[in-house]
Amino acid sequence: MTIQEMKQLMQERGYTYAQIADLSGVPLGTVQKIFNGETKGLRYDILTALEGIFKEPMAVMESCAAYGEEKKPGMYTIEDYRALPEEQRVELIDGYFYDMAAPTTFHQLIAGEVYRQIANYIIDQGGACTPFISPIDVQLDNDEKTMIQPDVIIVCKPDQIERRNIMGAPDFVLEVISPGTKRRDHVVKLFKYEQAGVREYWIVDPYKKRVLVYFFQREASPVIYPIDADIPVNIYEGKLTIKFQQIAKWGEQED
């Protein structure tokens, strides 16, 4: 893949230099020089790292037989998703299956604590919104090609809540990064959530000890907080603040 082809894909998908640097491991300054045409010779390892971001599809390429009926990549539907064994944890995004590894204990502590604080606030305030914690199916695009399982969501429209899943975009989504989901959470889901109409998206990175907050109604770039901060929830105009101090303490025990 040429740099020009990567630049074209970068524009089509709305990637930033910072996202490319974070996902590839290539220093930000180097990424900027490469895509601005300031670097002529490109080392093979750097080229390979960059290509890994842009190659399609960014799904786990398992044998088609692993997902039951054999179909071409990108052609799987919610019917195929529902036909899978219950113990097989996957997400369906644009017709591709993405494997989901079992979460770590710290991953679950983060999701559980954030959910607890959100639920307590909504109950105390008598709010109309409803929080959910994974596993919860979200039919994000109201179509047959995407069914995801975010870690924590808030849904403010009661008619979106169906017996089997949530229909359409939640108002708030939080994902906790795992080693195998970094690229998916930062790129694939970021794009999908924004396009679907999610108002606010948090990415908790326990490895870099930070939280990225995207509030799509205001700006495209995230606000970055340390993982021990008090972080305001924008859809509640900052009246709800998630306190991460206890989460940070649990993280210290993991180190």
Q: What is the pLDDT of residue 59?
A: 45
| Range picked from 2-16, 112-126, 181-195 for highest mean pLDDT | 112-126
Q: How far apart are CA 172 and CA 140, in angstroms?
A: 12
Q: How far apart are CA 32 and CA 16, in angstroms?
A: 10
Backbone angles phi, psi at 59, to 5 degrees: -100, 165
Q: How far apart are CA 231 and CA 202, in angstroms?
A: 10
Closest C-alpha among 212, 107, 193 to residue 151: 107
This prediction has a pTM of: 0.77
Confidence of residue 100 (pLDDT cuts 50, 70, 90): confident
The tens digit of pLDDT for each residue in 40-99 reads 677 666 777 787 777 654 444 444 445 555 676 678 899 999 998 887 889 999 888 888
Q: Which CATH class is domain 105-254?
A: alpha beta
Spell out the domain ranges in the chain: 3-54, 64-99, 105-254
Q: What is the pLDDT of residue 35?
A: 87
The tens digit of pLDDT for each residue in 217-245 reads 887 778 999 999 999 999 999 899 999 99
Higher pLDDT: 228 or 8? It is: 228
Is 30 a residue whose pLDDT tops 80?
A: yes
Please spell the DSSP secondary structure of 16-66, one letter per residue.
-HHHHHHHH---HHHHHHHHTT---S--HHHHHHHHHHHSS--S----GGG
Q: What is the pLDDT of residue 40?
A: 67
Q: Which CATH class is domain 3-54?
A: mainly alpha
Q: Which helix (DSSP H) or strand (DSSP E) does residue 132 occupy?
A: strand 130-133
The tens digit of pLDDT for each residue in 57-71 reads 444 444 444 555 567
Q: What is the pLDDT of residue 173?
A: 98
Q: How far apart are CA 80 and CA 13, in angstroms?
A: 27
CB atoms within 10 A of CB 158: 9
Q: What is the pLDDT of residue 73?
A: 65
Higher pLDDT: 107 or 25? It is: 107
The tens digit of pLDDT for each residue in 165-218 reads 999 999 999 999 987 777 778 878 888 899 899 999 999 999 889 999 999 988
Q: What is the pLDDT of residue 34?
A: 87
